[in-house]
């Protein structure tokens, strides 16, 4: 297992879309890609019978472990402050309180990351730091703070469309967007060049700009905490941010988060350790984007071996289409109308699509 830093301190897929696509309930056994942990916490609110988080990057598991210990041991105010969702002057002291409760591996990792702890771990990922560069170095060259606030405050789609078309969508906006969100900088500073291995699209920045334009004219920004964070670096209303940051959900999560299992390793490795017909729901995040067609089919075969009839899969694609492989079309059925409707309303409109699939029977 290759040790890299935290790539995603937060999940960048819409938890509302995920929860509607999977419809997790109390008799479900769920496997979820860990990433920042946020969407797995959202699924936990639906009280599944079991929930296992898997990630091939062990530092993502260490991140979730630290978030979980903070949830279990702090009151709500200290929890959101320690994470970085609210100001805090004593994050290192709070970490020292959690440190003995962490696994040896997680403790060893976070002991070397005091700068990330000081800043708040919600901001420590490579992707979050990439957006931080955008806010500090690029956005001020295009729009001032007032314009940002006006975009986020639009009360209707008509008002937002008008503002985007007449004020926001300038030549400078388009040119700097192309520069900063092109394949080169996005790969090196935001994600990883290897993540584009299977991307055949040449104009990545142009496609992202088209998706941003669609989002700005079809999805209301005012309640879109993803866009709020990208443009401001903050969540001003935690009630409408990631569900686990909402105070109304705090005690419910605290009561259940200890039941969540963490597995550092690949999805295929974890599935191969399970007996048949033991999983009913899969949150695959966007990991299929980084698989070859052969690897994608092999992972689906591993899913089919362990899933129960009627199991559901959910995942996002960014630039790489992932239809059901021909050998599996009798076993896996895309819920296309539902997927299209959920994609249209998805607050992370920069993805190419959301996909909700159902399994008729296992392998």
Smallest CA-to-CA distance from 125 within 178, 92, 83 is with: 83
- Chain centroid to CA 160: 25
pLDDT tens track for 47-56? 999 999 999 9
pLDDT for the residue numbered 3: 59
pLDDT for the residue numbered 2: 53
pLDDT for the residue numbered 74: 98
Confidence check: pLDDT of 1 > 70: no
pLDDT for the residue numbered 197: 86
Residue 178 in contact with residue 206, Cβ under 8 Å? yes
pLDDT for the residue numbered 183: 86
pLDDT for the residue numbered 303: 98
pLDDT tens track for 141-200? 999 999 999 999 999 999 999 999 999 999 999 999 999 998 888 888 887 777 788 888
pLDDT for the residue numbered 322: 95
How big is the CA angle at 77 (ends 73 and 82), to the nearest 5 degrees? 70
CA dihedral 84, 92, 69, 192 (to 10 degrees): 60
Does 196 or 10 have the greater pLDDT score?
10
* pLDDT, the chain, mean: 95
pLDDT tens track for 228-282? 999 999 999 999 999 999 999 999 999 999 999 999 999 999 999 999 999 999 9
pLDDT for the residue numbered 357: 98
Tokens linked to 141: 């060259």
Domain ranges of the chain: 126-240
pLDDT for the residue numbered 362: 53
Compute the distance between CA of residue 183 and CA of residue 125 in angstroms, rounded to an integer: 19
Smallest CA-to-CA distance from 61 within 211, 263, 232, 196 is with: 263
pLDDT tens track for 202-219? 899 999 999 999 999 999
pLDDT tens track for 289-322? 999 999 999 999 999 999 999 999 999 999 999 9
Percentage above 90 pLDDT, the chain? 91
pLDDT tens track for 96-120? 999 999 999 999 999 999 999 999 9
């Amino acid at each position: 297992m290759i040790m890299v830093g935290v790539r995603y301190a937060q999940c960048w897929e819409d938890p509302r879309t995920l929860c509607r696509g999977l419809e997790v309930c109390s008799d479900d056994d769920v496997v979820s890609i860990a990433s920042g942990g946020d969407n797995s916490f959202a699924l936990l609110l639906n009280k599944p019978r079991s929930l296992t988080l898997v990630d091939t990057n062990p530092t993502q598991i260490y991140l979730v472990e630290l978030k979980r210990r903070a949830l279990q041991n702090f009151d709500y105010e200290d929890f959101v402050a320690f994470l970085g969702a609210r100001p805090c002057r004593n994050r290192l002291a709070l970490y020292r309180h959690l440190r003995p409760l962490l696994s040896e591996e997680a403790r060893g990792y976070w002991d070397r990351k005091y700068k990330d702890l000081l800043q708040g771990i919600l901001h420590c990922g490579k992707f979050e730091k990439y957006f931080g560069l955008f806010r500090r170095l690029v956005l001020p060259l295009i729009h001032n703070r007032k314009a940002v606030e006006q975009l986020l405050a639009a009360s209707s789609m008509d008002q937002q469309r008008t503002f985007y078309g007449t004020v926001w969508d300038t030549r400078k906006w388009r040119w700097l967007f192309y520069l900063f969100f092109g394949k080169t900088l996005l790969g090196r500073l935001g994600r990883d060049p290897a993540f584009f291995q299977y991307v055949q699209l040449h104009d990545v920045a142009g496609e992202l700009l088209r998706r941003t334009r669609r989002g700005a004219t079809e999805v209301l920004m005012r309640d879109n905490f993803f866009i709020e964070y990208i443009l401001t670096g903050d969540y001003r209303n935690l009630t409408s941010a990631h569900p686990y940051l909402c105070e109304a959900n705090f005690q419910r999560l605290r009561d259940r988060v200890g039941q969540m299992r963490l597995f550092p390793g690949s999805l295929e490795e974890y599935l191969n350790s399970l007996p048949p017909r033991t999983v009913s729901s899969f949150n695959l995040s966007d990991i299929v984007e980084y698989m070859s067609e052969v690897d994608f089919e092999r992972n689906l075969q591993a899913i089919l071996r362990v899933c129960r009839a009627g199991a559901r899969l959910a995942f996002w694609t960014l630039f790489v289409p992932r239809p059901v492989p021909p050998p599996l079309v009798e076993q896996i059925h895309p819920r296309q109308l539902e997927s299209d409707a959920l994609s249209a309303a998805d607050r992370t409109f920069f993805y190419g699509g959301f996909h909700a699939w159902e399994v008729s029977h296992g392998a």
